[in-house]
Structure 1
Amino acid sequence: MDVEEKKQKIKEIVKRFAKQGLLLSPNLLELELKKEEAEEAGEDSIGRLIDKTKGKDILVPDEQSLSMIEKDREINWLDFEKAKTTVEKGRDSKTYERFIEYAKKDGQDEGQKEEKNRVIVVNNYKDINKTRTVQDFIDFFNARYRSLEAMLRNRQELSNLMSISRARKKKDRENISIIGMVFEKSVTKNGNIILTIEDPTGTTKVLFNRTKKDLYTLAEDTVLDEVIGISGIASNNIIFANLMLRPEIPAITDKKSSPEDGYAIFLSDLHVGSKNFLPEEFARFLQWINGEAGSDSQKQVASRVKYIFVVGDLIDGVGIYADQDQDLITKDVYEQYNQCAELLSKIPKSMKLIICPGNHDAMRIAEPQPVLYEDFASAIWELPNAVLVTNPSIVNIDSSQNFSGFNVLLYHGYSFDYYASDVNSIRIRGGYDRADLIMKFLLQRRHLAPATSSTLFIPDPEKDPLVITKVPDIFVTGHIHKCSAAVYRNIVLIGGSCWQSKTAFQERMGHHPLPARVPIMNLKTREIKILNFEKPESKKQPEQE
C-alpha cells in the first residue's frame, strides 16, 4: 500500500474506533495496519478488536490491555487507564507495573484452583442514597411496566396489539390485544371476574366469563400490579377476554450441566441467637461437610462440595417483632453475627460461601436488600471464602473455558407469605408447604413480588430490581423453613430448610417447618438429594430423604 492509501486507511481505522469512544495507541495502530494488509479480503480484524473492548472502561486500547482481555483477567479498567496515564506523564509507575505483572501470570497453580470454584457476581443491586419522592414511585412503576411489556410485546398470540386509549374507541366488536398492569379485581353478581387494566395511555375493564374455565382460573390467580397481555373482543369500553398471557419464562430445552464432578448445597434461615436455634443438628452438618460423619458415599459427596449458598436470615436479629427478646438466647446483634461466623468458619475454606441477607438480618427489610452491613456483620465479612451478595442477586458458578456455568438467582423469599395465603391455587395445594408452587408462580410473572403489597420495596426510578430479566438456571430461596426441590421449564427450583425448631408464632399460624434438611445438587448430573440432620445422636450418619 502506498503513502496515500496508508493515510486513508489510518483515517478509516481511527474513525471506526472513535465512533465507539475509543482512541488507539500508536503501536496498536501500526499493528492493526499490518493485520489489515495481511487480511485484506479476510476477517474483520478491527471489528474483532472493537468487540473485545465492549463492556470495558477502556479509552485507549493497547497491546497490554488486549493481552489482559485475551487472558480473561478481571481488571478494574478505569484504574488501569489512570495508571497508564500516570506512566505516560513520567510519574509513578508502580501501580501500572503491578497491573502488568498480574497480566503476565499464566493462571496455573492458585489461579487454576480458583477457576474450579469460580463465583462471578452477575447482578448485585447498587443502592442509591437519596430522598425518595412521589415521582420516584411513579417512575418505578413505569419502569416495571416497560420491562415486562417488552417481554410480552412480540408474542404472536397478541395480534392487533394497541394501546388502551385506542382500544377504548373500538365500538364494533373488534378483535384486539392490549398489555397492561392490573389495577383492580372484582367479581360480578354472576360470578364473572372483571380486571381493570392500565397502561400509560389509560384504563379499561376486561371481563373473564366463568364458563371459560381455563381462562377463568388464570384470572382467579391474577394479583394486583402484575403485567399481563389480553386478547379479546372490544365493545363499549369493555373487553371480553379470549386469551391471557403472562411474561413467563421461555421453554428451555437445554439441560445445562457441568463437565466436571462437583456439588452445590443450599442452606437458609440459620436464626443464630434464637432460643430455638438447633446447635446439635448444625454440628452434625459440620461434621459431615468436614468428612467426619456419614457413610463412605456421603463422605465422598462432602469432599466434592464446591459451593454453599446461605440464603438469608443468618441470625434471628433483635427487635424484628414485638417481645422478640423473650425468644432470644443472644440479645446482642453483633454477638449473633460473631456466633454465626464462628459456625461458618468451620466449613472447609476450599468451599465458596455465597451469602445473601433476609428479613431477620440486621438491615432494612425493604427490597432489594444490600449486602450484609459490615459494621454489624464484620465477622462474616472476614470469612476468607465468603462472597456477599444482595437480596435478590444473580451469581454464576462453576464456569470454565468449556462451560458457561450456572446462573443462580438468590431471593430470600419475604414476599412468599402473601402468595401462600392469598393465591387460591397455591393455598389449596399446600400453601406454606409448597415453596415450589410459589417459585413457579413468580417465574411465570417474571417478578419476585408482583403484588406491591407482598413486600416492602425501594422505588428505584430507573428500574424495578425485582423484575426477573435474566432467566436463571437455578432459583434458590428460603424463608418458608421447609425444604423443597423441583424443576420448572428446566430451571432447578430449590427451597432451603432452616436450623430453628418450630416457634410459638409458627405454632399459632399453623406452619409446619422441617428443619435441618440440606438440599445438595450434583452439578454434573443435576440430581438433587436431601440430607436430614435432624435425627437423634444415636444415628451416626445423616439420613437421605
Structure 2
Amino acid sequence: MEIDSEINLHRKQASYISQDEKFVMKEVYRGQQYSQIYFARLHLMRTLLYSLLPNWKPHLPVTTILGLEEAKECTIVGTLYKHMKLKPSILDEYSKTRSAVPLVKPRNFVHADDYLVLEDESGRIKLAGSVLSPSVYVTGNIVALHGKETDEGEFVVLDVLEPGLSPQIELPLKSREDKYVVFVSGLHVGSSSANPLLFQLLVDHITGHLGDEKEQNLASQIVHVVVAGNSVELPRGLLNGQNLAPKDQARLSSPIKELDIMLTQIAAGVPLDVMPGVDDPANASLPQQPLNRCLFPGSSVYNMFRSCTNPHSFDLDEMRYSEANDKLEYLERTLRWRHLAPTAPNTLECYPFTDRDPFLMESCPHVYFVGNQDKYGSRLVKGSEGQMVRLICIPKFCETGVAVVLNMRTLECHTLSFGTQF
C-alpha cells in the first residue's frame, strides 16, 4: 500500500486597513437636531454637482428655489423629500390607542399618490412631470434638476442629474493572484431555526479541516472572513428591566458563548471581522458601534479578530470594501447617489451629526455588500469613468446554509452551500 507524502499548505496573506474611523462615535450628545446633518450633506453634494453642471447643461442658469422665475428653464440643486401618504406618524400611533377599530398595517409605504418635493436653504417646491419617479427616489437624495416653474407654483422636471459613482482607484497589482474573502450573515445562533452543525461545517471548511486535498488548497487561499450582522438571537422576553435569576442569565448569555466558541476556531487561523446587526446586542441607530470585545473572551485574544462598525469599510490588499443595508437594485442606486443610507434620519435611525455626514461615499468601493437577505444575489456595476463594483447580497445563513466567496483577483463570486440532510 502506497502512502501519499504529506503536503503542507500555507494560508495566503493580505494587507488590511480599516476605514471605520468615520463611523466610530467618540462623543455622544443628543441635544442637537437632525437639520445639521442634512445641511452638511447638501453642502458637500451641491459642490460636487456644481462641478458636473458645465458638462451637463452649460447653457442653463443655476438658481435657488427662491430665485425661480415662472416658465424660465433653469437648473436647481437641492434635497429631495418624498411625501408618503402611508408613512407612519407618531400622531397615527397615538390615535391607534384611542381607536376601537384596529388600523390595517400596509406591507410597504409606497402609494400612487406619493410625490416629491425639492428643498434648499431658501425654500421648497413641489416637483411635477414624469421624469422623476417617486417610486425610485427617496427622502435625502441630493440631485440637480433641469426644468421650469409653472403658474401653479410647481417645478416641472425635464431632466435629472445624479452624482454618479465616486472616483475609484484601479484594481491593485496585489490582486493578480487568487485570494478569497468569505462573507456570511444571519447566523442567528440561539434561535430555534439555527443548526449548529451547518455553522460548524462552514468553520471546518474555512479552517481547512473539511474536504479533500483540492478543497483544502482552496481553503488555504481564504485570506479574510466577514460576519455581516445578526449573529445571535437573544431571548428578548427576559429583558424586561427586572433583575435576572441565574438561570435566566445563563439563557441570555448562552447564544453569545456558543458564537464565541465558533468564532474562536476561525480567528485562530484567519483574519475575522464581526459586524453588528439589528438583532445583535448593539445600539439600534446608525452607525452601529462595534460589539463589545468582552462578549468574545475566546476569539478576542487573537489579533486577527476585529469587532467592527455597521456600516463597515475596509481595504484588503488595497481593494476597497463597504457595506450598506438593502437589495441589489437599491445598492446600485445608493452607489450612484453616493450615499450609504440616504433615508437616514428620515426613516432610519442615526446619530445627529452636526459637522459631517459619515455615510457619504467619498471614493467608490470595489466590493459593495449587504447582509441578512432572503436569497443570494450578485451583479457587476460599471461606471462612466471605468469604475467596476461587485454588488453582493448575502443570504441568511441559518435559513439557507449559504455563504458567499469572493475572488479578489477577478471580482467573481460564488456560493458555499452546506446541508445536513441526505
Q: So what's the TM-score if we normalise by structure 1?
A: 0.61
CA deviations on 1:242-269 (whole Å, 9 max, x unpaired) are 1012222158695566023311111111
C-alpha separation between the residues in 2 aligned to 1:295 and 1:185?
A: 58
C-alpha separation between the residues in 2 aligned to 1:476 and 1:331?
A: 34
C-alpha separation between the residues in 1 aligned to 2:179 and 2:147?
A: 50
Instruction: Tell me the CA shift for residue 472 of structure 1.
Output: 0.9
Structure 1 counterpart of 2:154:
238
Match for 1:455: what amino acid? L
CA deviations on 1:488-535 (whole Å, 9 max, x unpaired) are 22201122222323xxxxxxxxxxxxx211211121222212121125
Instruction: Tell me the CA shift for residue 459 of structure 1.
Output: 0.7
2:357 is aligned with 1:464: yes
Structure 2 counterpart of 1:410:
323
Structure 2 counterpart of 1:164:
65
Runs (4+) of structure 1 exceeding 6 A deviation are: 320-323
C-alpha separation between the residues in 1 aligned to 2:264 and 2:239?
A: 32
**In proportion to residue count, which structure has more helix?**
1
Instruction: Tell me the CA shift for residue 119 of structure 1.
Output: 1.2
C-alpha separation between the residues in 1 aligned to 2:261 and 2:129?
A: 56
Structure 2 counterpart of 1:274, from 171, 185, 191: 191
* Residue correspondences, number: 367
Instruction: Tell me the CA shift for residue 369 of structure 1.
Output: 0.7
Structure 2 counterpart of 1:263:
180
Structure 1 counterpart of 2:106:
none
CA RMSD of aligned residues (A): 3.0
CA deviations on 1:401-439 (whole Å, 9 max, x unpaired) are xxxx1111033x2xx3xxxxxxxxxxxxxxxxxx22221
Structure 2 counterpart of 1:438, from 313, 325, 330: 330
SS at match of 2:406: strand
Structure 1 counterpart of 2:46, from 149, 158, 167: 149
SS at match of 2:138: coil
Pairwise mapping of residues 203-352 of structure 1 onto structure 2 (< 5 A)? 203-209=124-130, 215-216=131-132, 218-236=133-151, 237-250=153-166, 258-319=175-236, 332-347=251-266, 349-352=268-271
Task: Please say if residues 268 and 299 of structure 2, whose CA atoms lie closer than 8 Å, have aligned partners that are also in contact.
Answer: no
2:121 is aligned with 1:200: yes
Structure 1 counterpart of 2:389:
491
Instruction: Tell me the CA shift for residue 165 of structure 1.
Output: 1.6
Structure 2 counterpart of 1:392:
311
Structure 1 counterpart of 2:94:
none
Instruction: Tell me the CA shift for residue 336 of structure 1.
Output: 2.3
C-alpha separation between the residues in 1 aligned to 2:237 and 2:278?
A: 8
Choose 340-349 or 277-286, whichever is displaced more: 340-349
Structure 1 counterpart of 2:19:
122
Structure 1 counterpart of 2:30:
132
Structure 2 counterpart of 1:363, from 261, 269, 282: 282
Taking every aligned residue pair, what percent have the same amino acid on both sides? 19
Greater relative contact order (Cα 8 A, min sep 6): structure 1 or 2?
2
C-alpha separation between the residues in 1 aligned to 2:176 and 2:35?
A: 46
Instruction: Tell me the CA shift for residue 320 of structure 1.
Output: 8.5
C-alpha separation between the residues in 1 aligned to 2:65 and 2:371?
A: 39
Structure 2 counterpart of 1:525:
410
CA deviations on 1:338-387 (whole Å, 9 max, x unpaired) are 21111012226342102211111112110101111234444443343212
Structure-2 change in CA distance of 1:143 and 1:182 (3 Å): same
2:369 is aligned with 1:476: yes
Task: Please say if residues 12 and 222 of structure 2, whose CA atoms lie closer than 8 Å, have aligned partners that are also in contact.
Answer: no
Instruction: Tell me the CA shift for residue 184 of structure 1.
Output: 4.1
C-alpha separation between the residues in 2 aligned to 1:303 and 1:122?
A: 26
Structure 2 counterpart of 1:447, from 323, 333, 339: 339
SS at match of 2:38: helix
Match for 2:140: what amino acid? D
Structure-2 change in CA distance of 1:365 and 1:269 (3 Å): same
Pairwise mapping of residues 30-69 of structure 1 onto structure 2 (< 5 A)? none
List alignment gaps of at least 5 residues for structure 2: 1-9, 86-111, 241-247, 383-387
Task: Please say if residues 272 and 340 of structure 1, whose CA atoms lie closer than 8 Å, have aligned partners that are also in contact.
Answer: yes
Task: Please say if residues 62 and 74 of structure 2, whose CA atoms lie closer than 8 Å, have aligned partners that are also in contact.
Answer: yes
Task: Please say if residues 334 and 377 of structure 1, whose CA atoms lie closer than 8 Å, have aligned partners that are also in contact.
Answer: no
Task: Please say if residues 362 and 376 of structure 1, whose CA atoms lie closer than 8 Å, have aligned partners that are also in contact.
Answer: no
CA deviations on 1:31-72 (whole Å, 9 max, x unpaired) are xxxxxxxxxxxxxxxxxxxxxxxxxxxxxxxxxxxxxxxxxx
Which entry has the higher C-alpha Rg, 1 or 2?
Answer: 1
Structure 1 counterpart of 2:243:
none
Task: Please say if residues 11 and 221 of structure 2, whose CA atoms lie closer than 8 Å, have aligned partners that are also in contact.
Answer: no
C-alpha separation between the residues in 2 aligned to 1:252 and 1:192?
A: 39
